[in-house]
Structure 1
Amino acid sequence: MKALYVSLIIVIVDQITKLLVKGFAISFLGLNFEGMYLGQMIPVWGDFFRLTFVENPGMAFGYDPGESFKLIISIFSLIASIGLVIYLYVIRDKSLSLRIAIACILGGAVGNLIDRTFYGVFFDYAPLFYGKVVDFFDFDFFNFTLFGRSYDRWPVFNIADAAVTIGVLILILFYKKHNEIEEVSENKVEVSGISGINISEKVSELSSDNPQIIKKDQINEQTDIRKEISD
């Protein structure tokens, strides 16, 4: 279950970066960090990469399914996260690549689940399970349309989103490699099977062409049996 450390690191880094962007205040500790204001943009690498503070009320790509589905999304994310933890335990002895992939997806799911579940209450703007996900990575991208919306930049995302994407990519590469290994193994079995058939055919041909060889072998076998009995 060491892969859970990967998930834990992702959640910690994700939440720290989100709190630095959004800002936070802990009165009993005397902490008050302003962060960025909603909609603020900070260029990092010209217009190609910038930090843009947005809050996602719904699903990926900023898709908002409406208030009635927010609770369903949050509960589904919770159930999925529990399922991933159980699956990590099941595959604890499996390939490291597979475990890392699931751990990345789990870390990303939990990171965004914390936003949806607690941020509304923590920042006092919504009840439990109705919080908004904090996004801030903003990259330039070619124009495209998705869910009826047009984009001229890649939708703003966060560490948790990136972790889920990386986990899925590792899974794809893992299963591709796994299938290639299976194909090679099957080919080896086929080749060995063909070789065995060819050897049997050659022996049969030699036997039919040289019956004396078989006869000599049979005599030797009978002699060995007699020696074993006498001993």
Structure 2
Amino acid sequence: MLRLLAFFVAVIFFTRFLATLPIIGAIFRIPFLGFWFTAILLSAIFAKLGSDAVDYRARRNLEKSLGAVDTPHHKGKLGALLLAQGRARRAIPLFEEAAVGDPTSLEWRHKLGMARLQAKDDPAAALAAFDSVLEEDVDYGFGSAMLLSAEAAKEAGFPDHALDRVQRFEREHGPTPLSALLRAELLKAAGDRAGANAALDEIPRLAKHAPKNAQSQSWSLRIRALMLRLLP
């Protein structure tokens, strides 16, 4: 009962606040309708905060359970969890330990390269990690190791090496939004603006046909592509 009362007090308070805002304030000044709009908005916010809190607790519990067992597998799994949360720098030492502890695992070396790329920690070391994977399986991750190694090579200052890998990836697996963007960046850096623009023109079509789980990344790539086209 107290929670319900507190919620209605919050709705009244925020309705009055929102009514003072320019442009959108007119909606919240409408009797009854403004109150319900605010109630819906606050309900959505509280639901999101509650869901985030539950997810955070679940992640913390999982981190504790994985960190409690000192094996390469559990260190790698904990590193993968941190990497998925965007905490790439914290994941790096865990992947390093997992890779040393289980030298037969390509997964930990591959994820070590990914973490170094995301953290912008050491692109040359990221390239070395991907190369060690490619030496054993050139098609690892359906070509993802090849494409990520191209990005690492670009960041490490080896554009010719990077372009060669992008082109090899596209020959064997077909172009993707990321491969087209990398190709455009490398061609533009080499002075081939026409080739770069042609590669950029491919991105919307490729993004349209990208798997659903890659759609969010495709939008970020489109923004990068737009910036690349606008910059001199």
Q: Which has the higher contact order (CA 8 A, sep 6+)?
A: 1
TM-score, length-scaled by structure 2? 0.21
Q: Which has the larger radius of gyration?
A: 1
Tell me the TM-score normalized by structure 1.
0.22
